[in-house]
Amino acid sequence: MTVSRRVLGGLLIASLGLPGMAIAADTTLRFAHVVREGDPAFIGAEAFSEKVTELSDGRIEVKLFPAGQLGNNRKLFTQIQSGAVDMSFTPFNMLADIVPEFATITGGYMFEDQAHQRAVLDSPEMGGAWAETLLEKGGLRILSSFFYGTRNVTTKETPVRSPEDLAGLKLRAVPNAMSLATVTGLGAAPTPVAWPETFQALRQGIVDGQENPIPVLHAAKFYEVQKYLIKTGHQMSALPFLIREATWQSLSQADQAVVMEAALHGQAVAEEAMVTFTETLESDLVDRGMEIIELSDDEIDVFRTSVRAQVAEDFDGSVLPAGLIDQIHAMTE
């Protein structure tokens, strides 16, 4: 039988003869997100919370509200802006509501690899400047961000090797313009569904498939309602540890340093979990009945060409500054 850390803590207090209320936090940060236990982001949030407690000697508590307890990502975005919560994993595509350039971070076939995406996020002229604009216009501060995997398509009944194979299929899409453009470019009919409702939408046939990194779809148990995993690798995801600026400014400089160090720790833990889980969970998906379809370089090129054309049509020179997408692509050339 596993004994929880909370129980062990209580036993330690009792063994020391200390009253149960002897340790109390001076500050509580409310951190809400939508991911479930077993997801790398969930693990990163827990690591952040534990590190804050450790570094502050218990003066700061991070109260976690996981698995959509307080609503979907859109509702949480509203809540962090209003101050109902202090922190969240608001996706970059939602932050694009305030700073349009953040849409590139989850753009279809935008990056060659994780290092390419990190270079854009860390660039003073790109990610750094966008973060400053987010702070000025939205009152939201990015503490750190982590690689959240490469998205692949899954379907219930249809093996897929080309955009034509996805024609007529309803693919659950994150309800934002970049994701809709990417799924359209893949060849499917994008169907927005909030994350907490996705499993039931797949089970009930409201949508035929979805697209997510392997650890995310595994944690969500999509193997119970999907047959095929097609390794399109069409989007690289990233998530920020986001804090409301008013909350940040309410902290002392020492406590700000604690929270920042903890966010960098949470970033490292989440990224390590994502990479490790991606490498190890494929075989478990097969054991659970999924069939994995590996695409050739030529097949990937067809998807890449179609998606990039759709993204450029919908974004270049309108939503995004003209030439920004080409500038990002050229960073690895």
Instruction: Name the residue ranges covered by the structural domains of the chain.
Output: 12-330
Task: Write a three-state SS string for the chain.
Answer: CCCCHHHHHHHHHHHHCCCCCCCCCCEEEEEECCCCCCCHHHHHHHHHHHHHHHHCCCCEEEEEECCCCCCCHHHHHHHHHHCCCCEECCCHHHHCCCCHHHHHHHCCCCCCCHHHHHHHHHCHHHHHHHHHHHHHHHCEEEEEEEEEEEEEEEECCCCCCCHHHHCCCEEEECCCHHHHHHHHHHCCEEEECCHHHHHHHHHHCCCCEEEECHHHHHHCCHHHCCCEEEEEEEEEEEEEEEEEHHHHHHCCHHHHHHHHHHHHHHHHHHHHHHHHHHHHCHHHHHHCCCEEECCCHHHHHHHHHHHHHHHHHHHECCCECCCHHHHHHHCCC
Q: What is the pLDDT of residue 262?
A: 98
Given a cut of 70, is residue 263 above it in pLDDT? yes
Given a cut of 90, is residue 23 above it in pLDDT? no
Pick from 17-21, 32-36, 159-163, 213-217: least confident = 17-21
CATH class of segment(s) 12-330: alpha beta
Given a cut of 60, is residue 275 above it in pLDDT? yes
Given a cut of 80, is residue 49 above it in pLDDT? yes
Q: How confident is the model at residue 194 (pLDDT cuts 50, 70, 90)?
A: confident
- pLDDT tens across 133-191, in order? 999 999 999 999 999 999 999 999 999 999 999 999 999 998 889 999 999 999 999 99
pTM, whole model, 2 decimals? 0.88
